[in-house]
Amino acid sequence: MNRTQMALRSCGPILLLLAALFAAPAQAESQGLFDRLLGREADQNQTEGQPDGSGEFWETDRDPTPIQPIGVPTSFADLAEEVSPAVVNIRTSQTVTGMPGMPPQLEEFFGMPFGGRGGQEHKREGAGSGFVISTDGYIVTNNHVIDGMDEIFAVFKDGQDLAATVVGRDPKTDIALIKVESPTPLPAIALGDSDAIRPGDWVVAIGNPFGLEHTVTAGIISAKHRRDVIGGSYDDFIQTDAAINPGNSGGPLINLAGEVIGINTAINPRANTIGFTVPINMAKNILPQLRSKGHVTRGWLGVVIQGITPELAESFDLKSEEGALVSKVLPDGPAAAAGIERGDVIMSFDGKKIAEWRDLPRVVAETPVDKSVDVVVIRDGDTKTLAVEIGALDEPKLAGDTNEASNPAVFGLRAQDLTPEIADQLGLPDDSGVLISEVQPGSPGEEAGLRRGDVIVEVNRQEIKDLKQLREELADGDKTVLLLIRREDSTLYVPLKRTG
């Protein structure tokens, strides 16, 4: 036997295996194997929600057959054609004063015209993406796409250009619900289950990147439960390598069954293969509230918590570093009423494991107000289960958007006093400082690297205790302001340049 014959003989099993793999999908399709692999039946009805506005109101009617077979896809064309009619381009405009056509961050560099007067009043246009979730015109997008806009339009693939109104928005999760009116039912896309996805699953993103309408990109789920992406207390992102670019914000991330499993939200400017989406299950928790009352009321426990280091685990005689350590119990709060004490380690909440301290604020926030839940704690080595009736997190009003030089809005920031309740919700050690609740895209604050959730503790080396004092320190009018901020467990100085 020569070498060629030996090589062919050794390759024989591999060639047979490849042939079997390529033949399997055709056989499986004829047997309906993919239907069984999907593991679900069709939901034949669209749920309309409860009379009080709670409950599901989005599209759930779908064929159980996957639009795209499970396995290595050869094309996403059928999937894109099926769902694209429900994906919209969001067109926005806002009346501003300044230099037309110039980005806000450049106006300071070139100076204001006419001796420093306000310049011309003109419209600043923006773009984003969204998707229809019910045939009567409810559309999901990102809050930052529509926040502060005077006009909002939804442009459909068939050319319809419909005016939209804001139904509700939630800056903390960057989710907004808008609505259009149409004489005929609109195409809607079904919402899937983001908890069911796994790293490695194929996904498709459809949106309006750089103004290029209905662009389709594909990739895989890279990771789940990504934290510290935009600095919010409820960060829990899905990471994907499907291309997500400016203008994709608010568009859907879709699985092979044609269901939305995420809302495209953030990109990593240092890597164009890393994008982040809000899990659709998080949106499902708040959309009924946005529809019924325009905002979100979150659950409140009434504790200040911190993570467990190896040293703390040893000091408290804990077997692991899991859980959330209670460093303070707020008087008259739900935790105090239930008997939770300082030094307790919360291990589970309403049946959900608390693997690390940052899990707790999110699961508490998602819990309905007045619901009684079991909280499992470790106290002095013993495990105790306590029944807690969840309270409502009081959301203070944000700082007003005025044109005063002393207003944080000058820097593209919204700020609010840091109350004990909010410090508790964010897992902060105390309530000193002023909380940054929003950073406008393209603003000096964003350029300086500030994030939502940062706490301003000093301005020009002066300690800041509340929003009133922050305004006073900013009133000096210095071109550059030196901030000391607290971001989770670290503090850092940030120079911030004033515009105007």
Task: Report d(CA 308, CA 429) in Å as an integer.
Answer: 13
Q: Is 392 exposed, middle or buried (0-12, 13-18, 19+ CB in 10 A)?
A: middle
Alpha helices in 210-358 (DSSP H): 280-293, 310-315, 334-338
Give the whole-angstrom CA distance, residue 158 versus residue 164: 17
| First-to-last C-alpha distance (Å) of the chain | 85
434: part of which helix (H) or strand (E)?
strand 434-439
Which of 148, 242, 131 minimizes the C-alpha distance to 189?
Answer: 131
Active site residue 214: no
Distances (CA, A) of 313 to 88, 321, 345, 348, 395: 50, 6, 10, 17, 33
Q: How far apart are CA 221 and CA 241, in angstroms?
A: 7
Longest dimension (CA), the chain: 93
Contact 266/275 with Cβ under 8 angstroms? Answer: yes
Q: Which helix (H) or strand (E) holds 440?
A: none
Q: How far apart are CA 130 and CA 115, in angstroms?
A: 42
Catalytic residue, from 170, 174, 235, 431: name it.
174
**Beta strands per DSSP E along 135-229:** 138-142, 151-155, 161-170, 175-180, 202-207, 215-226
144 is catalytic: yes
Strand 215-226, strand 202-207: pairing: antiparallel
- Cα(287)–Cα(140) distance, integer angstroms: 9
Query: Which residues, at least 6 apart from 316, have a Cβ–Cβ distance to it below 8 Å?
Result: 308, 325, 343, 345, 378
Catalytic choice (84, 222, 233, 249) = 249
Strands (E), 271-371: 271-279, 299-300, 303-306, 324-329, 345-349, 352-353
Contact between 379 and 467 (Cβ < 8 Å): no
Q: Residue 271 to residues 71, 244, 267, 446: CA-CA distances in angstroms?
A: 27, 11, 8, 18
Active site residue 249: yes
Residues 6+ apart with CB under 8 A from 472: 406
Among candidate residues 144, 194, 233, 236, the one labeled active-site is 144
CA neighbours closer than 13 Å in the CB half-sphere of residue 243: 10
Category of 316 on φ-ψ map: left (φ > 0), alpha (ψ -120 to 50) or beta: alpha
CA distance 206 to 215: 6
**Which positions are annotated as active-site residues?**
144, 174, 249
